[in-house]
Amino acid sequence: MSAQLEAYAPQDAMALWWLGQSDGRPVLVGQLRLAAGDRKVALEYGPAWLARGFALSPDLPLLAGAFVPAERDSAAGAVDDARPARWGRELIRALYRPARLSVLELLYFGGSSRFGALGVSLSADRYRPGGIRSAAARGCSPHSLASLQRAIAAVQAGELLSQSQARLLAPGASFGGAQPKGLMAIEGQAWLVKFYRRPKPSKALQGRLLRAAEASRAIKSRLGQEAKRPLAPAAALGTMATPCRPRFAQGRSARSATRGLGAKP
């Protein structure tokens, strides 16, 4: 991991940035701060955003003062839509092993390659997001899909990741949902690859399959046929892929932008 990640210490406040500008230039929205015993993340718009920006969502009107979410373990309004969900939390723990993993750290470690309209930085002067700056930010090649699958299996098994595995996995840290996800580039377009576990047969079904296999071997033996070796078990992970849309341009609300780009499917 980089020195930047090793040097990270838990922060109580960070900067929120808008990444939806047509020219790609990040714009400071305001400050995020932990509240309610580190169980909530509040947002306060900055002066420049109050003067020239827009309300990120209906529950975050363009007014001065701090907006604190009602529910614990959440962030204010549209900011919460940018928060990684179960797979993101699991991946962030495996990639960065932070000393603390509050909602604020989840938002920060979503990283520089996130697909969404909001980003989090330690600095309010310059957008410097957390996470690994991966060469695979726009997606790995289809030839690397098997490597990505093995890296995901390593995360789920609690194994230490190699640097190459970390680079493959890093772009998926900002995706939401319970299932593992990654990015794949096909003809210059980014595709969201979703991995899923094939259901494990019940004990009763396993017993029936075992008895059927034993009966089959017995019949073949009586007929003088050579019993065939059993098939190798099916892969534990299957995949499906859908195209990712580019970041939303200014004029769409942050809530629609973060939802539309897979923040919390």
Cα dihedral 166, 168, 174, 177 in deg (nearest 10): -100
Distance CA 139, CA 208 (A): 42
Among 1-10, 87-96, 152-161, which is the least confidently predicted range?
Answer: 1-10
Per-residue DSSP letters for 117-151? Answer: SEEEES-SSS--B-S---TTTT-B-GGGHHHHHHH
Handedness of CA 127, 129, 135, 141 (dihedral sign): negative
Span 25-31, mean pLDDT? 96
204-214 residues labelled b (16+ CB within 10 A) or e (exposed): eeeeeeeeeee
**More confident of the two residues 239 and 146:** 146
pLDDT in tens, 199-219: 556 677 667 767 777 766 666
Those residues whose C-beta lies under 8 Å from the C-beta of residue 216, and which sit 6 or more positions away, are 227
pLDDT in tens, 89-146: 888 888 888 889 999 998 998 766 666 789 899 999 999 888 766 544 556 677 788 8
pLDDT tier for residue 235 given thresholds of 50, 70 and 90: very low
Distance CA 172, CA 153 (A): 14
Mean pLDDT of the chain: 76
**More confident of the two residues 224 and 169:** 169
Distance CA 69, CA 112 (A): 25
What single-letter amino acid sits at 16? L
pLDDT tier for residue 247 given thresholds of 50, 70 and 90: very low
Percent of the chain with pLDDT over 90: 29
